[in-house]
Structure 1
Amino acid sequence: MGVGYTAPDGFYQAPLRVTDKVEVLSWSTDMFEEDTAMIGTGAAHLFAEIDAVDTNFILRLWDTFPNGKRQLATTGYLKTSHRELDDRTTEGNPFHPQTLSVPVEPGKIEEYVVRLYPFANTFKPGHRLAAEGQAN
């Protein structure tokens, strides 16, 4: 599939003291026209403006069947104050050493690289790859 660009989108996740409703941002590919295998590690590059000094990103990638049923393909998690990458990072395989906590500067757009757990999946014709993300 390669690296691509998608127009900015956004959502507001209210603090738990305000509501317990969880907002989820989602994106989906077009339907696959042939068997498409994806194997290995991956990374999601998110550009976000956060209004707090820290939050957690939770990502899920789904294999969505033509009838709407879904199967989880992989997940990824990142505590934004631990976004630092070190020299073990390679394309598609970020490494967060978790040794330094750097508060987020509220209101500043930052790039966050979320490591996706290794996975293997063959997306069948008519299926879609869907990504869902939330911050809390």
Structure 2
Amino acid sequence: MTIWRRETTLEELNQRSKGTMVEHIGIRFTALHEDSIEAVMPVDGRTKQPFGLLHGGASVVLAETLGSMAGYLCTDGDRHVVGIEINANHVRSAREGEVRGRCRPVHLGRTHQVWQIEIVDERDRLCCTSRLTTAVIAK
């Protein structure tokens, strides 16, 4: 059974990102499962820090992008979500290629949600684990 209340496609998710930071740093939604959503992000000049490693802030952008979009898809009508807290533990560096984030719900409540996001490298090694809390609000 799906957790999503809004119908969408990967093409629509990626189109929604046009003209935003999400597009600028190359994040692409790649999978929409019944209880999770995935996206990839390049490890390149847009997302690296000066020492050649994936910037921790870029990982947080990927995590918040996934959690916010997942949160939105779990609302209906004029409701949407805003992030109110995010944390991230960076456990492995990435220097090239791309990283993949997968977002799953921890809690889907009426007024707030909690999302767990795991970011892995191309060899499926954990690079970052993040948790995002969102508030569900009416437009």
Q: TM-score normalized by structure 2?
A: 0.33
Q: Relative contact order (C-alpha < 8 Å, sep 6+): which is higher? A: 1
Q: Which structure would you say has the larger Rg?
A: 1
More helix by share: 2
Q: TM-score normalized by structure 1?
A: 0.33
